[in-house]
């Protein structure tokens, strides 16, 4: 941590900061520049609070030097992590595609989708049983009945299932059914949920909140790793910007950025990321070309009848085309799909 003193700081002000640093059992390192005096704080930065210094007299600024996360960083683990979800390896050479409806609506809808996405080559089946909705007037999901239908679809198709868990009290129930537990974007910083998930032995799909910085995203992964669960897959699903043409702005820059900073795999959700079914195909290709380890795509047999997210769902036929085009890009990248 670096403490920058104001230009008017006196020797006494500087002494005051140094004695505070030493009081805390840390070491100070002084550097007098032409316009500012700068004091380095030597010690474990994650245990130092910025405001222990920023509020002292004549302190202009306190600048952290280290990233706030440790277990999620490449410094901690240089090799790419590969997460196994029901036999599907995520983070390796093969690009994984998770597909299925936004919400589980009925047995008929789910089975039709599951068989279709399986036939097109999807690796995992997604579907929501608990739905976080903006409006109290909207469909809120089938709950445990939805989970049972997902389990049945797994039995019929052999596809592992991905589904969202919305609060810590439901973790055990959802973990009974799911192969991969999804933390939705709105829950990315639900610390109690993250802590509970850190204690189970199932892989976690952590979606980026639509206004999370990269540091915040990786800090949420850190919560899960810190508790002892190292099976974390990250997912970019669009950020909130001033842009209005797309529902969100899919931020593909985060894919190579995560690859630099972290060993964790990252997949991309172009359905939520754009909110427009007609942008899913090109943005899926782009995600793979940017280096993503997988895709998660909303597919519905009849999007215009969907109880949620119809606008951003593909028909099975459009999904089949996506798999072919995405496969071509994957091969150009030296990967498989």
Considering only residues 225 through 284, tell me which ones interact with its own copies, judged by CB under 8 A: 226-227, 239-246, 249-257, 260, 273-274, 277-279, 282-283
The residue (of 106 and 246) whose beta carbon lies closer to its own copies is 246
* Beta-ladder partners of 42: 27
Q: How far apart are CA 60 and CA 5, in angstroms?
A: 5
The residue (of 11 and 51) whose beta carbon lies closer to its own copies is 51
User: How many chain residues interact with its own copies (CB under 8 A)?
Assistant: 108
* Beta-ladder partners of 39: 3, 30
Binding string, residues 144-183; x marks residues near its own copies by CB under 8 A: ----------------------xxxx--------------
Q: How far apart are CA 81 and CA 124, in angstroms?
A: 19
> In the range 188-207, which residues lie near its own copies by CB under 8 A?
189-195
- Six-digit token string for 51: 């405001």
**12, 23, 25, 136: which one binds its own copies (CB under 8 A):** 136
The residue (of 87 and 256) whose beta carbon lies closer to its own copies is 256
The reply on whether position 12 binds its own copies by CB under 8 A is: no
CB of 233 closer than 8 Å to CB of 90: yes
Radius of gyration of the chain (CA): 23
The residue (of 108 and 192) whose beta carbon lies closer to its own copies is 192
Distance of CA 95 to CAs 6, 33, 90, 120, Å? 52, 51, 7, 14
- The piece of 42-50, 113-121, 153-161, 171-179 that touches its own copies (CB under 8 A) is 42-50
- The piece of 93-101, 111-119, 157-165, 287-295 that touches its own copies (CB under 8 A) is 287-295
**CA proximity to 17, closest of 69, 66, 36, 35:** 36
- Apex 170 CA angle, 206 and 178, nearest 5: 60
């Amino acid at each position: 941590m670096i403490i920058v003193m104001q230009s008017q700081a006196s020797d006494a002000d500087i002494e005051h900061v140094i004695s505070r640093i030493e009081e805390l059992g840390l070491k100070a390192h002084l550097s007098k520049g032409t316009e500012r005096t700068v004091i380095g704080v030597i010690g474990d930065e994650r245990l130092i609070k910025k405001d222990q210094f920023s509020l002292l007299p004549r302190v202009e600024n306190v600048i952290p030097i280290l990233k706030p996360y440790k277990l999620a960083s490449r410094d901690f683990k240089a090799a790419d992590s590969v997460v196994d979800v029901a036999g599907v390896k995520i983070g390796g050479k093969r690009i994984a595609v998770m597909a299925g409806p936004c919400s589980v609506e009925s047995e008929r809808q789910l089975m039709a989708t599951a068989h279709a996405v399986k036939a097109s080559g999807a690796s995992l089946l997604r579907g929501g049983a608990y739905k976080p909705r903006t409006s109290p007037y909207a469909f809120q999901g089938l709950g445990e009945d939805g989970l049972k239908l997902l389990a049945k679809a797994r039995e019929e198709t052999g596809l592992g299932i991905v589904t969202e868990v919305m609060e810590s009290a439901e973790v055990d129930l959802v973990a009974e059914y799911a192969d991969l537990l999804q933390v939705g974007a709105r829950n990315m910083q639900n610390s109690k949920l993250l802590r509970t998930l850190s204690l189970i032995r199932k892989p976690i799909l952590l979606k980026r909140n639509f206004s999370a910085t990269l540091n915040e995203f990786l800090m949420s992964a850190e919560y899960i790793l810190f508790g002892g669960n190292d099976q974390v897959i990250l997912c970019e699903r669009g950020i909130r910007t001033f842009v209005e043409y797309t529902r969100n702005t899919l931020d593909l820059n985060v894919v190579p950025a995560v690859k630099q900073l972290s060993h964790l795999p990252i997949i991309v959700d172009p359905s939520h990321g754009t909110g427009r079914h007609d942008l899913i195909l090109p943005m899926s290709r782009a995600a793979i070309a940017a280096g993503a380890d997988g895709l998660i795509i909303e597919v519905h047999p009849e999007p215009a009848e969907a109880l949620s997210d119809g606008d951003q769902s593909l028909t099975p036929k459009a999904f089949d085309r996506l798999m072919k085009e995405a496969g071509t890009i994957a091969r150009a990248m030296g990967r498989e799909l």
